[in-house]
Amino acid sequence: MRAPHRWRRLRRATACALAVVAAVAMSGCDAAQGGIATQEGIPEEIKLLGVRDQTGPVAYAGIGGARGGELAISEINRSGFLGDGVKLTIEEIDTAGSIETASAEMAQATADRTVHAIMGPTQGQQAATVAPMVERAQVPTIFTQAGSDGVVVNDYTYRATAPMASYYDLATEYLADKRLGDVSVLYNATFPTFAEIGKGSLPKQAEQHGLDIISSTPVQSTTQDFTTPVRSIAGEDPDAVVMLLTEPQSVTALTQLRQAGYDGQVMATSVQGGGNLTEAGKHGEGVIYPTDFSPALTSEKARDFVAAFQERFGQKPDVYAAEGYDGMWWLARAIKASGSASREGIKRGLQQVAKEGFDGAMGELTFEGNDMRVPGVLVRWNGTSEELVSRGGAS
């Protein structure tokens, strides 16, 4: 991560951050009327900013997205995809798990007339907070993760992550097919994506597939000890447990659930992908989860992406890296489609590419408006790697 600009070195307090947010509402129009990023055509350097968590509880999502984007940029630049001598560059800014920091950094970023586009925060609450800001400043912004409502709300907000709820029916279909009808749910009620699934789409999907949710237990993002809820769940002895928790929470909860005596099927989420269950040891073996990407996919695009990522970073890519990779290629395709790297040109191009769709690391990518959709895949963690359970529409 490169050193921040001078005007980013001082972190503002909350009050100051809010003042900057208010200021950008006044300066946004001016920022959109002049500067390198508003000129039509394709310059030799196209400057991007990544404004997302690099530290904090869900830093893994921001780091993965940044690495995937970095790999895509290297391929785009090396191949001359945007023209001879044309280079994408990106600077990563850490939002450190803070809505206030995200707001302050996005205010600065959108006011910078040399910034052509932004890769936005991965946390849903951060993303929803800054979404109106990027519209006022007219800076196209692509989010990864950020699966809550209120993110893709205008012509300048785009999401390169399919909402988890859009493919989580792979989980309920599997449970129904295996006749695992009695289900207990443990979910993070303060993490927007998990709250929406736990309280909304999952009960509906369960009913459609004839599953009976015998208990649904909410916890907080700050919860670190799950002894009480998992003992209750183990006592219920359901056919399956659906666990909608962040990565560090899931390792603890899964371990405590097994120690409480439950040995049935656990259904989790893509958060458990990328080897995040390794820390759970034997307790993680056999956990199944739907995901938008897995290194186990066999398509040519997926295999090439996995090989290139491993060569560059020395490890297999996770879902966040795949989203960052496909998101950056969406941006590059947008610039090429519109013939312009101006903010308005990128906006036009993103919408054009979304109408057409394209083949990415995650499979055949389609869109609902400015929001990506993926086929999805169901995988099982065997203790060391992911195995395909069902492909959904992916390959």
Residues 6+ apart with CB under 8 A from 129: 99, 102, 103
Domain 6-162+302-373: give its CATH superfamily.
Response regulator (3.40.50.2300)
Q: Is the dihedral of CA 117, 122, 124, 126 positive or negative?
A: negative
R_g (Cα) of the chain, nearest Å = 21
> How high is the pLDDT of residue 395?
53
Q: Are 311 and 70 in contact (CB under 8 A)?
A: no
pLDDT 10s digits, 240-260: 999 999 988 999 999 999 999
The pTM (predicted TM-score) of the whole model is: 0.83
pLDDT 10s digits, 74-103: 999 999 999 999 999 999 999 999 999 999
pLDDT 10s digits, 321-372: 999 999 999 999 999 999 999 999 999 999 999 999 999 999 999 999 999 9
All CATH 3.40.50.2300 domain ranges in the chain, comma separated: 6-162+302-373, 165-291
Q: Are 292 and 322 in contact (CB under 8 A)?
A: yes
HEC secondary structure over 103-145: HHHHHHHHHCCCCCEEEECCCHHHHHHHHHHHHHHCCCEEECC
Asked if the model's pLDDT at residue 55 lies above 60, the reply is yes
> How high is the pLDDT of residue 8?
41
Determine the average pLDDT of the residues in 190-202: 92
Q: Is 150 left (phi over 0), alpha (psi -120 to 50) or beta?
A: left
Dihedral, 263, 277, 249, 226 alpha carbons, nearest 10: 20
Does domain 165-291 bear CATH number 3.40.50.2300? yes
Q: How far is CA 382 from CA 14, 102, 167, 224, 285, in A?
A: 45, 37, 22, 25, 5
**Distance, CA of 369 to CA of 66 (rounded, Å):** 24
**Distance, CA of 79 to CA of 84 (rounded, Å):** 9
